[in-house]
Every structure is written in C-alpha cells, then in structure tokens.
Amino acid sequence: MDGSLPMTAFQPALKSARTTTEAYIQHATQDLHGDLADAVRYAVTGGKGLRGFLVYEGARLHGIDAAGAAPVAASIECLHAYSLVHDDLPCMDDDDLRRGQPTVHKKWNETIAVLAGDALQSLAFEWVTTGAGSAQARLELSATLARDAGLRGMVGGQMMDINAETAAEPLTLEQITLLQAGKTGALISWSAMAGARMAGADTGPLNIYGDRLGLAFQIADDILDVVGDAATVGKAVGKDAAAGKATFVSLLGLDEAKNRASQLVQEACDALSSYGDDADCLKEAAQFVITRGH
C-alpha cells in the first residue's frame, strides 16, 4: 500500500481533473463571502479528487470534453465533501483531522460545519443539472445521484455503520460488503457511470467497474487503518480496531484482504475490455486505489 507503482497516464490525469474541478468550484462561488462560503471552499480543497476524475474519464470515453463534464465532476466532489464534513462531526466519527488539515468543525465550529455540509449538498444538485447531455440525461444524473447519496446508498450505509458500533454481534462479511456498497461504493459507481449517462450510452461496463472499484477502495481504507500512519493518511488511524468494529481486515486477515482487493481490481479492469486502450487510465486508477498511501 505504498503507492509506488508507476502511473504513467493516471497521475497527470488525476491532477488535471482535481485542478479543473477546484477551479470550477472557486469560480462558481467567487461571489460568495463570509465564514460559510470559506468553509465550503475549504472542504472541497486538498482531496484526491478521484470521483471527479472518474467523471472526466467516463465522459472522455464517450466523446464529452472537460468543459461539459466539469459541473458534474464538481457536483460529486461537493457531495463527497459534504459527507466528510458531517462524518467528522462529534455526533458521528468525531475526527479532528481530514486531508492532513483540521476538520471544518475544528477550524470554525459545529454550526458552520453543519451548514457547510448542507450548502455543499445543495450545490451538488444545482450543478449536476448543468453539465453536458440532453435534458433526459441530466434528469437521470440528478435522480440517480439522489438515490445513491440517500437512504439506498451513502446515508443508508452510514446508518448501518453507526448501528454496527453498538450491535451485540460484529457484522458478517456479507453485511459489511452490503454496508460499504452503500457508504463508499454507491458514489464511486455513480461517478464511473456519469460519463455514459451524459452521453445516453450503455452504463453496464462502467457499472461493473465502479462497483468493483468502490469495494476495493474500502478494503484499501481498512488496510490503511491498520498499517498506515496518520501523517501520511491525513486522518486518524486505528480507530476501527480501537472501537472493536468488524472490517474486511478483521474478518479476512491482512493478507487475504489484500488478495481480495487485488481480485476486485482485476475484475474492474476486465469490465473495461470493450473500450480497448482508451480505458488504460481507468485501469491505472484501479491499481492506484489499492496501492495508495492515503
């Protein structure tokens, strides 16, 4: 998990995607001032930008340029940031550090953090309807984002995770897989399919890719919680073990968890065969997910 594998196309593409998305958000909010606006911009800065990258790459595969994909990439990064801001609150995971910086409620206060999360979610649904594609495509993007971010996706998965902390018995592997498919995987899958949805194309291959990628991402997070250090990871580590939570590592063991993640990455890459060499950057992204150090 040291992130040392060469990523010849992926790393520049990831950097470009992150820069383009952050520039879009800064420009679109330049008329907003005060602590709340500053907290919103702070929350979307400094992350990997993986979900936005997936939007751009999926769009590129379907002939949609970065300008057409930027509002959609910005929307998913805002929605992801909102989830992190709220997840870090004392009533949730109670974290002081995110992306190597103080969490929003630590830099400002809990009120600002709650409202910043609310504002980020609203911006996501405002911008997702302004990207490339037909009116029907934009409607589908908005409807699926609402579903995957809500009770049937991220929020539902988060509730399952919270309930697991006080459950009489640790979750089984099947239950953890279902939980993480919502909490982490739903928005990664949505991001992977966004380009195909904008183009009105078949989402099947990218659906499989995103599903496998999301689960591999969470397994890698569980591994980093065991073997990573806070300075590199950018947030507290070892919290799952301290809380006695069942994770992919606690149930499978470290080596088998790594093997499972590698298998999922291979399945993700295999799903892209119909795109040929054009999907090489997405394949590198899948490798990055399980070799990253943060």
What's 126's domain CATH number? 1.10.600.10
Residue 29 maps to a domain: yes
Ranges of residues in the chain whose predicted pLDDT is under 70: 1-7, 228-244, 294
AA identity, residue 159? M
In angstroms, rounded to a whole number, what is the distance separating the alpha carbons of residues 283 and 250?
Answer: 28
How many domains does the chain divide into?
A: 1
pLDDT of residue 2: 37
Residue 242 maps to a domain: yes
Residue 5 maps to a domain: no
CA 194-196-200 angle, 5° bins: 115
Residue 3 maps to a domain: no
- Indicate whether this model's pTM tops 0.95: no
Asked if 200 and 134 touch (Cβ cutoff 8 Å), the reply is yes
Residue 1 maps to a domain: no
Residue 4 maps to a domain: no
Residue 24's domain spans which residues?
10-291
Residue 241 maps to a domain: yes
pLDDT in tens, 169-216: 889 999 999 999 999 999 999 999 999 999 999 999 999 999 999 999
Residue 2 maps to a domain: no
What kind and span of H or E run contains 102? strand 101-102
